[in-house]
Structure 1
Amino acid sequence: MADDVKPTDATTLLTKIAKKAGRGVEDVRSILARHGVAYKPSIAVPKHLCITSLAFTGKKKGETAPGPVNFTWGDLSPGLRAIISDRNFRGKTTLLGLMRWGLTGRRGKRIPTEFAETFHTLTMAFTLDGQVYEVEVIDAIDPVGTLWRVDGGSRLALDTFSSAEGFEAVMSGFFMGQLGLQMLVTHADLGDKGVDQPHDWVWLSGALEIEPDPDNLFGSYQALGSRMMQMYLGVPWTNAVNDVQAAKTRIDIEARQAVSELERTRERRKSRIEEIDAEIAGLRRKLRGLPSAEGQRGDLAEANRRFAEAQGRLRSAVRSMAVASEDREAAKLAYDAARRDLREFKEGRAAKTVFRSLDPVCCPRCDEVFDEERKQANNQDHTCVVCGTLEQPEGNPARQEAGLKDAVADAEARLTSQERRKAALAKAMDGARAEMRETEATARDLEAALAEPSSAYPLELELARLEARKEELGVDDAKPSESGDDHQVLRIAERVTQAAFKPLQDELLGEVSGLIEEYAVRFGVVSLEEAKLLGNTNLNMRKNGGIAWFGTQTPGEKARLKIAATIAIIKVAERRGLGRHPGVLLIDSPGSNEMVDRDYSNLIAGLAEVAREIPHLQVFVTAAASETILGHVARERLLYAEGDRYLW
């Protein structure tokens, strides 16, 4: 390590943070501790991992090579090993998945879901700095098993598990402790609450894998790639910076959520006030609809007054009805007499007409015969031929009849008028009686209501309660919790800590960048002229005289660049005695991404050379069988499914 790049101790860092924040050291320490930030020295002690054997049993189902499975691959050691087959889909990638499952306790995407019940047991042995350990899964479906420490012929159970989650927890706890790794924590905003999301060995073990078409230069996740790279490089205080950044995010999210919750509370308060306003309006309408005692007493007096008036009208109508009845009877008599006179006149006229039309020839009593001379004489004298009575002249019968008809009409009109008078008086009497009954009932109801307690009282109490509640809700003095001072201290802590390790990080990244360039060229990226690894894990390159970035490369170039970067980090960390990468690489099908034969040959040859240069490095690569593989990897270091055979 260069003399001008020295680690800074925790006390010095805390003193600088306190000075910039204008606070005491203990105050800063307390704030950091409150947010889960601990400035503890983290000394990397590199340990070398080596998978020494893999065995599993099971039963294949379906039409493709069904039957029992009993696979064993032992005597594995550091260096380059290849898992190859003459045909595709022979189980190469699944073997890498089973190795990763044994290391992490989690089934990954390299073990297809259709194989969920294929494997019954799994046993994988490995060493860490020569100490032998063994993962034994006696039920791979649940799974159930034990992590053993092996000393000679004896085994010591370090931990057991009986579920998928338990398997993950056992392997994570083991490797995090053995490799000196710290859980990386992020704080995520899940809408209504913030949640700490821990990233342990399952996530950190992504640094052991190389995909055919990688998205990230180092590890499997871009979000925390820089922190993981710093951890594996052994950059000091990266754990503290990770905690600080998580705490800052947590405070930011909690502040946003506090503001959101405050707004939701205000909206709920506003909505409740509107509901109360509606309830108050309804109560007031009900109260307006209820009669007051004073109004009821006035209504009672009015009902009594109307009863007395109706009673007076009834008495007056009764008196008038007696007179009207007499007048009607007189009019009826007059009408009947007029009709009788007219009838008698008409009947007399009719009789005279009949008798005058008669021409008697003899006396009806004595049968005396009337001669013609007598008849003529009587006609001239206007005397009756029978009785000799002198006939009186009739005057004007038509005028007489018209006068009699007029008399009948006048009498009828007087009778009709008197009958209408009686009907009006009867109606007035009925109206007066009805009003008397109505006003009497109203008076009784009012007297009963006045005797009862007021129904408005409970409504008035509820109205007062609601108005008090509305006034209480109208007071809005809520404010988001203040965390500005803590946030300021965390921001300063992040800057001071990053500045403290930046010189060493820059120096380490410089060494890594040089090795990336060297390895990438050896792996076939011959157009690479310069490579510069940045602290955010972006790779800035110059190729063919122009600027290029990792994400813009072809799948084959990205795979080779990622292999180069990962091995460079392992090499620099090992050289410095700082790193935590255990030195195992699982490289899946690098030749599947349209890599030309020459580049593929360079990659395999380069891997073989690098594996010899770094004695503890163990590399497993899957590939289709080819002259390239067979020419660079010794036969005893191959797991080869020839022809139509399957690897397991």
Structure 2
Amino acid sequence: MAKTKADLLQGSWVEAIATASGRPPGMVADFLDRHDLRAQSLIPRPVDLTVRRVAMSGAKQIEEETEPFDFAWDNLAPGLCLLGSGRNGRGKTALFGVMRWLLRGTDPDEIPSDVLGWIHQASMDFDLDGVPHRIAIDRRGGFHGTLTVTGAGGRTIFEVGDETHFASAVSDFMLRTLALEPVTSLNKDGKTVHHRWPALFGAFHIGTDYSALIGDAVPLVNRMMNMFAGFPHAVPVGQLTYVTSGLKMDADQEGQASRAVAEHAKARADRIRVELDALGAKATAGQSAAELLAAMRETSDELAVRFARLPGLRRALTEAQDAASAAKAEWNADRLALRHFQEDREASRIFRSMDPKCCPRCDQTFGAERKEREAADHSCLVCGEVTPDEDEAGKAEAKALLEANERASAQVNASAQEAEERARAAVDEAEARVSEQERKLAEVTARQKAASAGAADLTRRAVLEAMLADAETDSGAADSRPETDEAAIAKACDKVFRQRLRSEQEGIMEELQAEICALLQDFGVTNLTRVELNTTPHLFLRKGYQGRDRIAFGDASIGEKLRIKIAFIVALMKVGHRRGIGSHPGLLFIDTPGAQETADQDLAALARRLGSLCQEVPNLQIFVATKEFDIFDTAARPAIRLVATGDDMLW
């Protein structure tokens, strides 16, 4: 049953998704929890971010000369803050880079490495909804980064000791404070990538890359617009995109496996059909053939069971044989040790009983004096060494121990031999049973063949027809797989989320279109009649008589792209502040406007309108860095201008 638009807008998430998917609410809630799909609990409100002071110090190293510097840009306030110089290389890019470094948390690629090495310390004072903060880095002897609340009851928010932790800490703080969420996307390998604060910071900076309507990456434009416009359902819509991508990848893998099975089943079905076509007319089969067929299956099953037991019994026999061999070797070793002990003892007695008359080497006769000395101090007539006393008790104890070892190993050997015999008997019995079962199976098979000789074609046809039915079922399985619960819930989530997002976008998108169109007209875009902005978002300019000429953002001129990007971001700010929603903090950096093909009169129109915008939106702060500072000079208040003329440096 088709669900109406009203169905998707009524009730809680779980109720609407359960109704759209036909799945139980508990299953839907589990899906949402597992994939962390949730709407923002509160509609985001703009948090004003105003830069109050920028300072940096260090030492310039130009050739062999070192020039210390201590720079500060004080008394900054909402409005158009102008950073200008009459020539390049006066420090605009470096100062802008340091400001973005402190706010973004990542190293400024736009600053040349040698100039970056000059900067030893840098800090920025800024207000968040009127609460003063200071972020600072110190690169002397390493890296040290801090963020503190400097007002009443000041406190340290973080303090880190390397660039990586500094970037991570800034990202966490800004995302949390400005109520932003990381933006997820898929890379070319299909892996999910989480774009955090450095990527979202592109919504606060407009450089010279105009490929994306907001930020620097085209794939993130839709998520960034919805986030900064303050649509609560924008976050789950974006998250669901990557949840469904992951589910689709899983389904594709399962589909490939199912298709492989189906293709194999189709080939098998074709072979079975060929064999069926080759069979002759059906014959009749008696009851005995069916009974014998059942007996054959039963005997075959029993044979399989008995055959499966054989490997384990054979392994047990091998283990028993190994144990018996080891036990026998141990017994033989104990017997040999006992025999050697006994033989050594007998030999000792024999040699001790000898009475040598002369030296065995030189035939010199031993005299009576030497024999008396032998009797007195027990020294040997032959070698002269003192002969030890016979330790009969110790030898008796050693003999008893050897005899006990021999008896114990004999018992172990006997047990091991018995275990080997039992294991051998079990294997012999199992092999005999297998042989007997094989004989029975051969007998039953022969009887069955004989009994069904007249019904072979019928039996074979019945078997083939059953096999064909299975093969045809398998071949159609890939096309008839039911929709999984995950896929059904994901599809329903997409319907509910997008319908609710469209409901949130109604009215605001029209307001954004009107605001962008009015801004572009004030910025000097000629012949513009209206602007078309969809939720993708794609932006088109309508020009000429009754707006017949339709120009996409990507096809506009470089100068128009710059003004469109500015108008789009400023419109998000204005609508957000007017409605009290959205996440854009009202801070914007515009780098080198006029560096492309923008004419002076168009640049002047842009400057005037930016200046008046800052009066319309009191908390709006726009930093502009340009060589055309004279065009912007009247639009910026003197107190928040920093200009270097001629060969002067900004810092």
**The two structures share one fold, judged by TM-score above 0.5:** yes
Contact 2:84–2:642 (8 Å) recurs in 1 = yes
Q: Which residue number corresponds to residue 559 of structure 1?
A: 562
For residue 534 of structure 1, report the CA deviation from its aligned partner: 1.3
Over residues 593-646 of structure 1, what are the superposed CA-to-partner deviations in whole Å (9 max), with x where a residue is unaligned?
121111010000010010110000000001114432223323322111111011
Structure 2 CA distance, aligned partners of 1:15 and 1:530? Answer: 40
Alignment of 1:446-461 (within 5 A): none
Structure 2 CA distance, aligned partners of 1:577 and 1:53? Answer: 27
Contact 1:10–1:39 (8 Å) recurs in 2 = no
Q: Which runs of 4+ in 1 moved over 4 A?
A: 5-11, 63-66, 254-264, 479-483
Report whether the alignment pairs 1:593 with 2:596. yes
Pair 1:102–1:80, CA change in 2 (3 A) = same
Pair 1:495–1:644, CA change in 2 (3 A) = same
Q: Which residue number corresponds to residue 627 of structure 2?
A: 624
Contact 1:541–1:548 (8 Å) recurs in 2 = yes
Q: What amino acid sits opposite 2:237 in the alignment?
A: V
Picking from 229, 245, 248, the partner of 2:244 is: 248
Q: Which residue number corresponds to residue 214 of structure 2?
A: 218
Q: What amino acid sits opposite 1:636 in the alignment?
A: A
Contact 2:607–2:632 (8 Å) recurs in 1 = yes
Over residues 200-228 of structure 1, what are the superposed CA-to-partner deviations in whole Å (9 max), with x where a residue is unaligned?
21111111011234111112211021111
Pair 1:577–1:140, CA change in 2 (3 A) = farther
Range moving further from structure 2, 135-144 or 566-575: 135-144
Structure 2 CA distance, aligned partners of 1:6 and 1:128? Answer: 40
For residue 100 of structure 1, report the CA deviation from its aligned partner: 1.2
Contact 1:57–1:121 (8 Å) recurs in 2 = yes
Alignment of 1:101-500 (within 5 A): 101-139=101-139, 142-152=142-152, 155-188=154-187, 190=189, 195-256=191-252, 484-500=484-500
For residue 528 of structure 1, report the CA deviation from its aligned partner: 1.5
Structure 2 CA distance, aligned partners of 1:241 and 1:556? Answer: 33
Contact 1:251–1:483 (8 Å) recurs in 2 = no
Structure 2 CA distance, aligned partners of 1:602 and 1:123? Answer: 34
Structure 1 CA distance, aligned partners of 2:580 and 2:77? Answer: 22
Picking from 635, 640, 645, the partner of 1:637 is: 640
Contact 1:212–1:556 (8 Å) recurs in 2 = no
SS at match of 1:204: helix
For residue 189 of structure 1, report the CA deviation from its aligned partner: 5.5
For residue 485 of structure 1, report the CA deviation from its aligned partner: 2.8
SS at match of 1:592: coil
Contact 2:573–2:584 (8 Å) recurs in 1 = yes
Pair 1:76–1:57, CA change in 2 (3 A) = same
Structure 2 CA distance, aligned partners of 1:570 and 1:84? Answer: 25
Q: Which residue number corresponds to residue 20 of structure 2?
A: 20
For residue 122 of structure 1, report the CA deviation from its aligned partner: 1.1
For residue 85 of structure 1, report the CA deviation from its aligned partner: 0.3
Range moving further from structure 2, 503-512 or 154-163: 154-163
Count of aligned positions:
427
Over residues 114-159 of structure 1, what are the superposed CA-to-partner deviations in whole Å (9 max), with x where a residue is unaligned?
434222111111101100111011227853211101124x631111
Q: Which residue number corresponds to residue 338 of structure 1?
A: none
SS at match of 1:561: helix
Structure 2 CA distance, aligned partners of 1:259 and 1:141? Answer: 58
Pair 1:627–1:150, CA change in 2 (3 A) = closer
Report whether the alignment pairs 1:608 with 2:644. no
Structure 2 CA distance, aligned partners of 1:53 and 1:176? Answer: 22
Contact 1:207–1:219 (8 Å) recurs in 2 = yes
Percent of paired sites with the same residue: 30
For residue 9 of structure 1, report the CA deviation from its aligned partner: 8.4
Q: Which residue number corresponds to residue 389 of structure 2?
A: none
Q: What amino acid sits opposite 2:12 in the alignment?
A: T
Contact 1:117–1:141 (8 Å) recurs in 2 = no
Structure 2 CA distance, aligned partners of 1:536 and 1:213? Answer: 20
Structure 2 CA distance, aligned partners of 1:223 and 1:105? Answer: 22
Structure 2 CA distance, aligned partners of 1:635 and 1:244? Answer: 49
SS at match of 1:60: strand
Q: What amino acid sits opposite 1:561 in the alignment?
A: I
Q: What amino acid sits opposite 2:108 in the alignment?
A: G
- Structure 1 unaligned segments of length 5 or more: list them: 265-476
SS at match of 2:30: helix
For residue 519 of structure 1, report the CA deviation from its aligned partner: 0.6
Structure 2 CA distance, aligned partners of 1:141 and 1:250? Answer: 46
Pair 1:60–1:255, CA change in 2 (3 A) = farther
Pair 1:263–1:20, CA change in 2 (3 A) = closer
Q: Which residue number corresponds to residue 29 of structure 2?
A: 29
Over residues 409-451 of structure 1, what are the superposed CA-to-partner deviations in whole Å (9 max), with x where a residue is unaligned?
xxxxxxxxxxxxxxxxxxxxxxxxxxxxxxxxxxxxxxxxxxx
Contact 1:584–1:617 (8 Å) recurs in 2 = yes
Structure 1 CA distance, aligned partners of 2:491 and 2:188? Answer: 20
Pair 1:57–1:594, CA change in 2 (3 A) = same
Report whether the alignment pairs 1:42 with 2:38. no
* RMSD, matched Cα: 3.0
Range moving further from structure 2, 231-240 or 142-151: 142-151
SS at match of 1:499: helix
Q: Which residue number corresponds to residue 550 of structure 1?
A: 553
Q: What amino acid sits opposite 1:240 in the alignment?
A: P
Structure 1 CA distance, aligned partners of 2:219 and 2:142? Answer: 32
SS at match of 2:619: coil
Contact 2:247–2:487 (8 Å) recurs in 1 = yes
For residue 254 of structure 1, report the CA deviation from its aligned partner: 4.6
Contact 1:213–1:555 (8 Å) recurs in 2 = no
TM-score normalised by the chain length of structure 2 = 0.61
- Structure 2 unaligned segments of length 5 or more: list them: 261-473
Contact 2:45–2:230 (8 Å) recurs in 1 = no
SS at match of 2:12: helix
Q: Which residue number corresponds to residue 522 of structure 1?
A: 522
Over residues 84-118 of structure 1, what are the superposed CA-to-partner deviations in whole Å (9 max), with x where a residue is unaligned?
00111212122222111111211233323343422
Over residues 284-312 of structure 1, what are the superposed CA-to-partner deviations in whole Å (9 max), with x where a residue is unaligned?
xxxxxxxxxxxxxxxxxxxxxxxxxxxxx
Report whether the alignment pairs 1:59 with 2:59. yes
Structure 2 CA distance, aligned partners of 1:608 and 1:6? Answer: 45
SS at match of 2:210: coil
Contact 1:142–1:164 (8 Å) recurs in 2 = no
Structure 2 CA distance, aligned partners of 1:43 and 1:172? Answer: 21
